Structure 1
């Protein structure tokens, strides 16, 4: 089981777990944040298009994000598997991902939900000490997650593995690996 999507609210530890799990599962960690930075930094046509939106303070449209992900999934190292982090963010992107994978005769093996209570998330994010991480802003981000991204849990219900996201990095990683083992 190597084609995995990681979901969870902001502060659930997706980025941290993605790095640890990528190593344990020997598959590339594909993060939309990293894709944006790479494309913008290398001034690719997609990067230039994304930068125009970002500079204007607007969200990069799904069409640009989808194309970045499509290109990345076609790279040789992603053929044997991958760990997606930050994509899809909504069911429309999930439909697009399904089409991308179907075109390569692939499908997702599992969707891992990192479950952490909202109060714990707020506590974690406040502890980071970032100036933009006020409690109101954090709770607003949680609300946006519930509205836009949480519907993916139902969308992927047949391959969903919910894991307790509280604990040491290695503990949580082991829970994910164990959860994947029960899927196969």
Structure 2
């Protein structure tokens, strides 16, 4: 175990102090949203269990900032802007439980699935630029309009503010059609 000593040492991401370097990578919580766009109890318990088992940083599965932009199903994935009060009400207690075990948690946000959307999962096929679907090249996603992009920016801002109220330690911008993912503690 001495080979892995560094893994169990404290570290920082900006000003956020982590008790160790063990991080749970984000995974898709498709089907684990409650009827109001929050995390259902099964998903909440899943994240708390990771904290109980000494994970220093948990990054949630992807949450949409706007289900309407692509026509995602309401129970498809969590969405802070669908019902902000309900989202905070369902996630704040989860985050308190996670923090009680000494773990930190980031809310992963995405604006659109774009060309990475599974065929048939979204009602609209859009992407930042016109692009063929990653899984089905015969499907072309149209380029988003300027108004759609501006709306999406506002939804990211709203989602980050909701994440802060819900007790998340920061947000993580999901990589979907972009070439890089970004982390932000400026919530």
Q: TM-score range by the shorter chain?
A: 0.3 to 0.5
- Structure that is richer in helix per residue: 1
TM-score calculated relative to the size of structure 2: 0.40
State the structure with bigger RCO (CA 8 A, min sep 6), 1 or 2.
1
Q: Find the structure with the greater CA-based Rg.
A: 2
- Structure that is richer in strand per residue: 2
TM-score calculated relative to the size of structure 1: 0.41
